Structure formats: structure tokens, C-alpha cells
Amino acid sequence: MDAGTRQRAGIPPEVVTFLSGKGGRSLIVKGGAGTGKTTFGLELLEKAGRPGQSFYLSTRVSDEALYRQFPWLKTTEMRTRVFDAGKIFLETLVGRDKETAPEPSAEVKQKLQQARDFLRAVGEERGAPTKVDRGQLQSLLQRTRMPELEHMYDRVERVLPDKALLVVDSLEGVTHKYGLEMEELVMCLQKDLVENSNTNVVMILEKPEAGGIEYLVDGLISFSREELDERRVRHMRLDKLRATAIPRPRYAVTLAGGRFEALGIAPRPETGPAAPKPWKAIPDTERHFSTGIPDFDALLGGGYKRGSYNGFEIDVQVSIDDYYLLFAPTFMNFLGRGGGILGVLSGGESPEKLRELLTQHIPTQTFDDRVRITDYFATEAKAPYILPMLRAGREEAQRTLQGAERAVRGGEGKPFIEYTGFDTLEYLQGDQLAIKSLFMGVERTKIMGDLGIGLLKPGLLVTSEMINMMDTYFRIVNIDNSPCVYGIRPRTMVYAMSVDTEKGPPHARLTPIV
């Protein structure tokens, strides 16, 4: 599996690069209970390992318990990678080595041996190990038998000279069982398997602190979780990845569906950039306008309610491109179904940039005909979609807005989006007039059955008054460089916003952070 595929699966590219380096690498994964360490280890097993060359040693729970919690492990191919330490121990006591695969025929055995001999010969030429170093292990075995590790050493040796991946979950499970010091076990795995046997070893630690053993290994990853407005958020921090650049040290993490996904990873394109495709509108319903994002429609119970006013509080670390992930599909869906947009843009937004974005997927003439943006700093219209308001008196401004409303509705009187950046209104009019403008906009939207979208930026005086007028109220925040949204009204969990990798931009998806 190539690196691009692994990135799309949610494993950070830094981790992929680290484990793909020459020779073996050791990695400690630490964090408190419920932070996602086990799920990460299992995802690594599938996405960073190869069939027959990657193994998962579970000392905390049985394999059947893992299958119940992670049903995707039940495939025959994944079952061969998961080993229950308890079963290995019992099988050793009764003197039998249970194999998961049926006994091959003599002919198959001969071919396998010939292939193995060839690989070993190639490995010897390039200096790669063909047998597992057991120096450190033998020293520990003089004190106590450890069937689990002996079994894993045997499995790794069958892979050589190719690189194996071993995930041990957890270090404490082995050390407590056999009365070892943590440093002894880590040094054993590091010296025998990583340094001398071309093996990647991932060691999961059940506690949030490594206790000073991190200097023994090549990499260290920390998992944690916190509460954001009483909503659970998980974090992944890349503390150390030896000989690997770490351009992005933190990732927000979700465990949705029992799978690990580090959020905000841009997939590596397998071909050149595709030509923009025309927007295919999602149908509205009798009671709702589609947001243009199926995930958001489902979250809202069908989309934005007709005649509703919807508020979005934008965090200071969220960029325009970030929140346009959520709004651009709505804009295009309205325009694609014959509706329009009447807007007062927020600070930093540009009519020209908005037009450039939307007309990649809708006809330019549609935008010019059905979009009107008020510009309170312009004295004349530089484009058909600009409404100059700098020198307009009250009556002239009213006539201009009425004409703009007729234009965005079109001859069929279609609904339109009233999109308002209230930071702009508060700056121009003051908080009291901005609140009055909101009240009038809410009333007009409800009477006419249109759609209102209002943006609130940090520090606005109008925010507390406006929340009570909104039908829905969401916050858009930045979590570890991933734009996320969650609902205050209605109350929702946190969702990461990203480009839909199957459909491509401007299509978006929402991924629940659980």
C-alpha cells in the first residue's frame, strides 16, 4: 500500500515516513485511558504493515474482546495478525503451537522454502539480518519464561530479511506479568528487534507519562483528551520521530466507527489536478433548504429550515477558506436551483474572491445575475454584482436594495440567501443599528421564507443579543489545525470539516469527533 493511500486512511504522513525509514524503528505510544492508543495501534497494523509481516500482541484483552470492539478485525487476513498473549501462554503450557493457517502440501512447502532461501540470500548480500537477535531476550529468559515474546520473535524471524511490524499492547501487561522493569523490556525489544533485526516495534504505554524510558526509543507519540464546551475532543501529539521532519506536530483525532483517523490530512493526489466539475444541486424539500453537504443536511434533520435565520460564531484562528468549506456548497446549491444571494461580506472577504471560487462550478452569468454584494466603501459599481453604498443616501440605498432583491429572486420569485457579516455592520453602524438590522433581517426572512446566514466574529458587542434571535447557532473553531463545527442550538458533538476526498472540492464532509 503506498503512502498516499495510508494518508487518506488517517495515519499522519509524519508517522508513515518515520516507519518507512531504513532499518527498524521503535515507537512508544502513551496516553491516559480512552485516548485512542489501542485503536491507533490496530490502524497502524492494517495501514502501515503488510500481510504476514505485521503482528499485534495483546496483553490487556483477549482477541475475541478485540473482535467485539473492532468488528473490522474479523477478516481472515487481519485475524492472522492479532495474537492473544493469554492463549499463547496456555498453548505453551500444554505443549502445542496452534497455527492459524492450514498445513501446506509438500510441494507448497518446497516452493516456500526456495523463495525464503532466495530472499535470505539477497538479504545476506545487502547485509540485512536473516535471523532475529535474541541476546537481550535470552538474558531475561534466564529469570522467567515469556512465551508471548518468544512466539513473536519466531514470527518476526520468518519475515526476515524483510521488515516486520510488531505492536505490543501494552508494555505494562508484559512487565507486570513477569516482574520486569519497564526499562529492561524496552531495551530488550530495542536491541534485539529494532537495532539488530530490522523490525519496527510500536510499544503502547497505558499511562500518560513514559517515566524516563523515552530516551531509549526512536519515537514518542502522546494521546490526550479534553472537554470543549462539554464535548469530548481527542488529541495526538508527535513528540519525537527521530530523523523525520515534523511539519505538523498535533492532530485532532476521531475514533468514529471503531477506526482511528487523524483529521485534516490532505490526501496525496494520484494524478494531476482534475478540471473543476459543474455543481450538481441537491434537491430541497418542502420544509428545508439543502446545505449542499449531505452530512450537514443529516445533522440539521434535512437542511436549513425555510424561513430560518442561522448564526455562526467564527473563532479567530479560523480562516475564510476554512468556513467557506461549510458555506460555499450552500451558496452553489442555491444558485444551482435558481435562487440567489444578497450579502454583506465579513471583514477579509472579497466579492471578487467569492466569484472566483463559485464560478469554478457554476456559470459566470449565473453569479452575475443572481448575486449582489453591498460594498459600503465603493462609490460606483465596478461589476454587476457590486452594490456601491459609500455615497448613497437612505432613500437611494433602500431603492438599491429593493432592486437587488428583485434581481436575486429572478423572474420566478425564488428564495434567496441573506448572508451577513455582522462585524462589518457593527463597524459601520454601531452595535444598536446592527442589532436592528438583524431584527429586520430575521423578520423579513421568516415572512418571505428565505434563508438567513449571519457571521459573528470575536469581540462583537452584538453577539449576546443576536444568539437569542437565531433559529440555529453554531461555533466554528480550529482544533489542531483542523476546522471544526459544533452546534449550540441544536446541541451537537464536534465535527471536523474537510473536503470530500471522493467527490473533490468544493464538496465537503463532516466527520464526528468521538
**Residue 312's pLDDT band (boundaries 50, 70, 90)?**
very high
**Residue 96's pLDDT band (boundaries 50, 70, 90)?**
very low
Q: Cite the beta strand spans of 255-358 per DSSP E.
A: 261-262, 288-289, 304-305, 308-314, 340-344
Give the fold, CATH level 3, of 3-262.
Answer: Rossmann fold (3.40.50)
Which range has the worst mean pLDDT, 198-207, 299-308, 337-346, 427-436? 427-436
Tell me the C-alpha to C-alpha distance, in Å, between residue 287 and each of 188, 404, 450. Answer: 65, 25, 11
pLDDT number for residue 128? 74
Q: What is the pLDDT of residues 436-458, one digit of tens each?
A: 777 777 888 888 999 999 999 98
Q: What is the pLDDT of residues 194-253, one digit of tens each?
A: 999 999 999 999 888 877 888 899 999 999 999 999 999 999 999 999 999 999 999 999
> Does the pLDDT at position 92 exceed 50?
no
Domain boundaries, the chain: 3-262, 290-512
**Residue 136's pLDDT band (boundaries 50, 70, 90)?**
very high
For residues 500 and 351, is the Cβ–Cβ distance under 8 A? no
Q: Which residues contact 52 (CB under 8 A, 6 or more apart)?
A: 80, 159
Report which of 186, 254, 197, 246 is spatially closest to residue 28, judged by C-alpha positions: 186
Tell me the mean pLDDT in the region 256-275.
76
pLDDT number for residue 359? 96
Higher pLDDT, 170 or 396: 170
Q: What is the pLDDT of residues 358-380, one digit of tens each?
A: 999 999 999 999 999 988 777 77
Specify the pTM: 0.82
> Does the pLDDT at position 62 exceed 70?
no
> Does the pLDDT at position 60 exceed 70?
no
Would strands 416-421 and 451-456 be described as parallel, antiparallel, or unpaired?
parallel
Mean pLDDT of the chain: 83
Cα 505 to Cα 278: distance, rounded to the nearest angstrom: 11
Other CB atoms within a 10 A radius of the CB of residue 485 amount to 22
Tell me the mean pLDDT in the region 501-506.
89
b/e map of 25-52 (b: 16 or more CB within 10 Å)? bbbbbbbeeebbbbbbbbbbbbbbbeee
Higher pLDDT, 361 or 42: 361
Tell me the mean pLDDT in the region 465-492.
92
Report which of 265, 249, 222, 296 is spatially closest to residue 482, judged by C-alpha positions: 265
Return the CATH number of the domain spanning residue range 290-512: 3.40.50.300
**Residue 270's pLDDT band (boundaries 50, 70, 90)?**
low
Which range has the worst mean pLDDT, 25-29, 30-34, 138-142, 375-379? 375-379
pLDDT number for residue 10? 82
pLDDT number for residue 129? 83
Which range has the worst mean pLDDT, 10-14, 85-89, 376-380? 85-89
Tell me the mean pLDDT in the region 122-136.
72
The percentage of residues in the chain with a pLDDT greater than 70, rounded to a whole number, is 82
The percentage of residues in the chain with a pLDDT greater than 90, rounded to a whole number, is 49
Cα 99 to Cα 110: distance, rounded to the nearest angstrom: 19
Higher pLDDT, 93 or 176: 176
Q: Do 3-262 and 290-512 show the same overall fold?
A: yes
Higher pLDDT, 304 or 375: 304
